[in-house]
Amino acid sequence: MVHPADDRFPKSARLRKRAEYLSVQGQGRKLQTRAYLALALEREDDGVRLGITTSRRLGGAVVRNRARRLVREAFRRGVLAVPPGTDLIVIPKAAALCLTAAQLFRDLQDLGRRLERARGRRS
């Protein structure tokens, strides 16, 4: 299946290097929902970058890949509305395995709203 260019997940929208992940993990703000743990770090520029980490404790490769795929899809569709200038790491919890895709999207939507509120309090 061929996707339009705007449906892709470009390199500029990803955290790609270990140092970037460590920076967000060390200095970022922690937020939790029932299915996800998120670490967010505000940056100077207005791009948004997403990183997804899944542990082997979550399940086999198929399960981990499904969890990552759902987070990327929510990010692409705008369900996970992240404020501009944010690096975000999303870590699925075991509870994510018991939920439907719609429930996971609602959880990610809640996460985005919480990020907005947290950013609004700091400004």
Q: Is position 1 within any domain?
A: no
How many CB atoms are located within 10 Å of the residue 105 CB? Answer: 18
What integer best gives the mean pLDDT of the chain? 88
pLDDT per residue as tens digits for the range 10-61: 888 899 999 999 999 999 999 999 999 999 999 888 888 999 999 999 999 9
Of the two residues 20 and 2, the one the predictor is more confident about is 20
pLDDT per residue as tens digits for the range 95-113: 998 999 899 999 989 988 8
Q: Is position 106 within any domain?
A: yes
Task: Output the pLDDT for position 83.
Answer: 86
Structure tokens given for 93 = 């919890």
Q: Is position 8 within any domain?
A: no
Task: Output the pLDDT for position 54.
Answer: 95
Q: Please answer whether residues 38 and 111 qualify as being in contact, where contact means their C-beta atoms are separated by less than 8 angstroms.
A: yes
Kind and range of the H or E run holding 66: helix 61-77
How many CB atoms are located within 10 Å of the residue 31 CB? Answer: 18
When divided into structural domains, the chain yields a total of: 1
- pTM, 2 dp: 0.87
Q: Is position 102 within any domain?
A: yes
Q: Over pLDDT 90: what percentage of the chain?
A: 53
Q: Is position 6 within any domain?
A: no
Q: Is position 3 within any domain?
A: no
Q: Which residue has the tokens 């703000």?
A: 29
Task: Output the pLDDT for position 4.
Answer: 56
DSSP letter at 37? Answer: E
For residue 107, give its domain range. Answer: 13-122
We report the CATH number of the domain holding residue 28 as: 3.30.230.10
Task: Output the pLDDT for position 92.
Answer: 95
Count of helix runs (H) and strand runs (E) in the chain: 3, 4
Confidence band of 74 (pLDDT split at 50, 70, 90):
confident
Task: Output the pLDDT for position 1.
Answer: 38
